[in-house]
Amino acid sequence: MSILSGEIHEWVSFVDEHQDTWIFDLTFLTSPWTCIFGRGCPGILTEPAPELAQGCCSYGAHFTDSEDVAKVEAAAARLTPATWEHIDEARRQGGPLEEVDGTTVSLLVDDACIFLNGPDFPGGPGCALHRAALEHDERPLDWKPAVCWQVPLRLVTSTDENERTTYTLREWQRGDWGDGGYEFNWWCTDAPEAFVGHRPVYEEMRDEIIEMVGIELYARFVQYVEARGSSVAVPHPALKKRR
């Protein structure tokens, strides 16, 4: 057990064939957290704004590398006016992305990510990339920026003096957004309203976790959880707020 954001979490670790260590946030991954975008999510502005249906898309996406950029640009080329509200704006701007201080980011339209369809868009609200992926019977994570499909998971990497690496898979915290994260009126992994799923996170986000840690480590984690049964010694702190 250890402290995460001032609250106690339970963890489990495995050592892989390279003698690197993988640490999993057992408390969060076995919790019933689920994305409530479009189902009362207040968003991450400084005041609650569920009517805007922006979720965590208010500030756009920051891309991790050139591969991430290329993937999203290819996906955006498959969007149409029927699936993407701001496609004309993207064309006027010469594309949906821009460089800011050496980092590639998505453009903002109406104070939200250019890929975000508004609540009244006939093609459906929410991320145009996400919706189009589902319509093509493909995985949203293969269309969306890495930061978007990973949240609220975060993989933190550190290397010691012996060049052995520790990977920690945990929930995304306010501080991971930088100083601005502490200005959010609401953040989903803090809030009991988001812990209403019918499956644990490790099942709900199976594809995302495998993409982040690999099938072998995911299988070891699942085997461990199933072997110990359904009991979690340390339930998620947000669940305690319901009482």
Classify burial at 59, counting beta carbons within 10 Å of its beta carbon; exposed 0-12, middle 13-18, buried 19 or more.
Answer: middle
Type of residue numbered 84: W
Q: Using the 3D structure, point to which of 149, 165, 198 is the last residue of a domain.
A: 149
Q: Does residue 49 fall inside a structural domain? A: no
CA distances from 212 to 31, 66, 88, 188, 208 (A): 19, 18, 34, 21, 6
Q: Are residues 13 and 99 in the same domain?
A: no
Q: Are residues 222 and 243 in the same domain?
A: yes
Q: Are residues 143 and 221 in the same domain?
A: no
Segment (H or E) for 132: helix 128-135
Q: Using the 3D structure, point to which of 114, 149, 184 is the last residue of a domain.
A: 149
What is the per-residue DSSP string for 66-116?
Answer: HHHHHHHHHHHTT--TTT-TTHHHHHHTTSSEEEETTEEEE-EETTEETTE
Q: Using the 3D structure, point to which of 98, 121, 149 is the last residue of a domain.
A: 149
Task: Going residue by residue through the chain, which has 243 residues, state the pLDDT in tens, using 9 for 90 and above.
Answer: 555 666 889 999 999 999 999 999 999 999 999 999 999 999 999 999 999 999 999 999 999 999 999 999 999 999 999 999 999 999 999 999 999 999 999 999 999 999 999 999 999 999 999 999 999 999 999 999 999 999 999 999 999 888 899 999 999 999 999 889 999 999 999 999 999 999 999 999 999 999 999 999 999 999 999 998 766 678 899 987 765
Among residues 158, 133, 136, the alpha carbon closest in space to that of 145 is found at 133
Q: Are residues 67 and 24 in the same domain?
A: no
**Whole-angstrom distance, CA of residue 105 vs CA of residue 150:** 16
Q: Are residues 155 and 238 in the same domain?
A: yes
Q: What is the pLDDT of residue 201?
A: 97
Which residues, listed in sequence order, are joined to residue 108 by a DSSP beta bridge? 113
Q: What is the pLDDT of residue 4?
A: 62
**Residue 104: domain span:** 57-149
pTM: 0.93
Q: Are residues 17 and 89 in the same domain?
A: no
